[in-house]
Chains A and B, each alone.
Chain A
Amino acid sequence: MDLLYTDIFLLHYHAPKNYGLHVPFDIEAKGENTLCGDSLTLRLTFARDCVQAISFESEGCVISRAASSLLFEYIKGKNRKEIKEFSPYALFELLGITLTAARIKCVLLPLETIQKGV
C-alpha cells in the first residue's frame, strides 16, 4: 500500500524524529535541492564505527522531511559501510511509498546527504 500522505507518513512530517540539531557531534553534513528550495542539515555522533546519535533540521516539502525522519531513525546503530551501501530502492521500501519521477529527488536528499557525510 502506498503510504504517501497517510497518517504515519504525515506524522513524521509534522513531528519528525531526531529533529533539532544537537551538540556535540562528530560530523555535520548539509544538502540542498536548489530546484525546489529544500535544504537539510544533519549531525552525526559515532561510537566506534556506528551511528550513535543523529539530529537534523530541514526546510522543504512533506516528502523530504518525513523521509529524513524515517531514514535517520532507521540508520541509528548502522555502521558507515551499511550507510554507504544503503540503496535508493531500499529507501523506497523502507518508506513504503511510490513516487512520480519528478519527486524522487525529494526522498534522495536525506540519503545523499548522509552518504556524503559518513
Chain B
Amino acid sequence: MSYKNDFPMFARFKKEKKPLVYLDSASTAQMPQCVIDAVREFEETTRANVHRGIYELSERATECYEGARERVRKFVNARRAREIVFTRNTTESINLVAYSLTKTFFKKGDHILISRGEHHSNFLPWQMIAKEKGIILDILELNKEGEIAIEAVKKALHPKTRLAAFSHISHVLGTINPIEKIRKTLRKRNILFLVDAAQSAGHIPIDVQKIGCDFLAFSGHKMGAPMGIGVLYGREEIVHTMEPFLRGGGMIRKVDITNTEWDELPYKFEAGTPNVSGAIGLEAAINYITSIGFKEIRAIDEKLTKRAFAQLKKIPGIHIFGPEDPRTRGGVISFTIEGIHPVRSSIHFQQDSSHRGRLRRITSNWVHPHDLATILDREGIAIRAGHHCAMPLMKYLGVPAVSRISFWVYNSVSDIEVLGRGIEKALRILA
C-alpha cells in the first residue's frame, strides 16, 4: 500500500514537472494531510492561550494541549503525563537537561560519556557544560560496524561517570544502538542515561520503561508533525529535583520580588506560551503513525534499505557506511563515491576560447557530495549532503562530507530506481 497520497507535498511540488523524490526524512519528514488538518482545525476553532484564561476557549485549548501530552505519554509508554515536557525539538530537550543538571547535579571532576557518532545536538551541550563546570567529556569510539558496542561502553566508563548520552539510531550510519543493554550496564553504576531518539521516533517503537532511560528526547518534525514541537521525557524521580531551564510566564506557583516557587512538573520546564498547535499536530502525527503501525513502517524501512543497498552497490567506487543487514539498522544510508571512475564521461568538451592548446586533466579523488546533491536536485531528487552536524564523526570516517538518503512511509522502490538513474547521470557529468 502506498502512503504517498496522504502527503499533499507530493501532489503540489514539482521540479520542472518532475515529481519529487524525497529522500531526506532523517532531516525532516513530510507532513500528512491529517496533521495539517488537525493544526488548522485547532487554529480556526480552539486557539487561545493555555493554563491562563478563565473563559471557555482557553479551557478547551488547555484540554487539547494536555490531551496531546497524554497521547505522547502513551506513545513512549511513560508512567505519568508529567514526565512529558514539550520543547521545540531534540536539541532544546538535550540543552534543557545539560543546563539544568549543571545547576544541582554535576560537580567539578565528574565525567560524562557520549559517542563519536553523536549529532552536534547531543555533543555541544555536553561540551559546553564540560568547559564551564570542569567536567570531563569522554568520547566512546564506535566499532567497525559503526555501532556502540556494549564492551566498549564498559571500558569507557570512569568511576566518576555520572551521565551517558547516546543516540538510539545513528543519523549518519543508520545503526540501531543496543540501548537496553547499555542501560543495564549503566544502572549497575547508578549512571544517568539520556537517549537521543530523534531518528527512532516514528520509525521503531519507543518504550521508556522498557529502555529504562532517565531522559529521552525527540523532535516532532522528523515524524510528520510540524516544526518547532519536540519532546523531553524525564523520569519523575530525577526531573522533580531539577532546576528550570528557561524562566518566565506560566511556570511558577508564586513570585515575589526576591524569590520564586516553581510550578509542578512538567510546567516548570515550559516557560512562556508553548507551541500548542504544534503539540496538537504531534498528537495527530502519532495517531497517523499508530494507524499505519510500527510493524508496517519498519517493513517499509527494511525493504527500502535492502533495495537501496542493492542499487548503490552497483556503483563503482561507492563506499557505504554502517552495517548492511537491514534488520540491524534504520532507513538512513550514508555513502561517498570515489572520483576516479570507470564510467567514462559521455560528454565531449567543446573547447572554449580560453582552452586552446593542450589540456591537462586533473583527477579528483572523489565525487563531492555537494555536487551530487545539486545534480540530483535538478532531477527532483532531494538528498542530504554535508557533514550532517557530526563533524567529529566525519573526521573519524576520514571525509569532510557524505551523501545521505533516508526514508519514511511515503517512499517506494521506484524512488530508489529514480535515485539510481540520477546518480548514474551525475557520474556521467562529474567523472
Residues of A participating in the B interface, judged by any CB pair closer than 8 Å: 4-5, 7-8, 10-11, 14-17, 19-20, 34-37, 59-63, 65, 73, 100, 102-103, 106
Contact = CB atoms under 8 A, between A and B. Distances in A.
B371 interface: yes
A63 B371 contact: yes
Contact of B362 (A16, A34, A106): A16
B368 interface: yes
Nearest to A62: B371
**Residue with the greatest number of chain A CB neighbours at <10 A, chosen from B352, B359, B360, B362:** B362
Contact of B375 (A5, A11, A14, A106): A5
Contacts of A10: 347, 349, 429-430
**Residue with the greatest number of chain B CB neighbours at <10 A, chosen from A14, A63, A103, A106:** A14
Interface string B135-169: 00000000000000000000000000000000000
B371 A61 contact: yes
- The 9 residue pairs across chains A and B that have the minimum distance between CB atoms: A37-B400, A61-B368, A15-B359, A62-B371, A11-B349, A61-B371, A61-B370, A8-B352, A15-B361
23 contacts: A4-B374, A5-B374, A5-B429, A7-B347, A7-B349, A8-B350, A8-B352, A10-B349, A10-B429, A11-B355, A14-B345, A15-B360, A34-B400, A35-B387, A36-B370, A36-B387, A36-B401, A37-B400, A60-B368, A61-B370, A62-B368, A63-B374, A102-B370
Interface string B380-414: 00000011000000000001110000000000000
Contacts of A60: 368
A60 B429 CA distance: 16
Nearest to A8: B352
B260 interface: no
A103 B370 contact: yes
**Residue with the greatest number of chain B CB neighbours at <10 A, chosen from A15, A19, A102:** A15
A60 B369 CA distance: 10
Contacts of B360: 15, 19-20
B362 A15 contact: yes
Interface of B: 345, 347-352, 354-355, 359-362, 364, 368, 370-371, 374-375, 377-378, 386-387, 399-401, 429-430
B349 to A, nearest CB: 5
Given A16-B362, A36-B368, A103-B374, A62 B430 contact: yes
Nearest to B429: A5
B124 to A, nearest CB: 15
Nearest to A16: B362
A75 B359 CA distance: 20
Contacts of A62: 368, 371, 430
Given A10-B347, A14-B361, A100-B374, 16 more contacts: A4-B374, A5-B374, A5-B375, A7-B348, A7-B350, A11-B352, A14-B345, A15-B349, A16-B362, A17-B354, A19-B360, A20-B360, A36-B386, A37-B401, A61-B368, A62-B371
A61 B367 CA distance: 8
A4 B378 CA distance: 11
Nearest to B358: A15
A60 B366 CA distance: 9
A106 B349 contact: no
A61 B386 CA distance: 12
Nearest to A64: B368
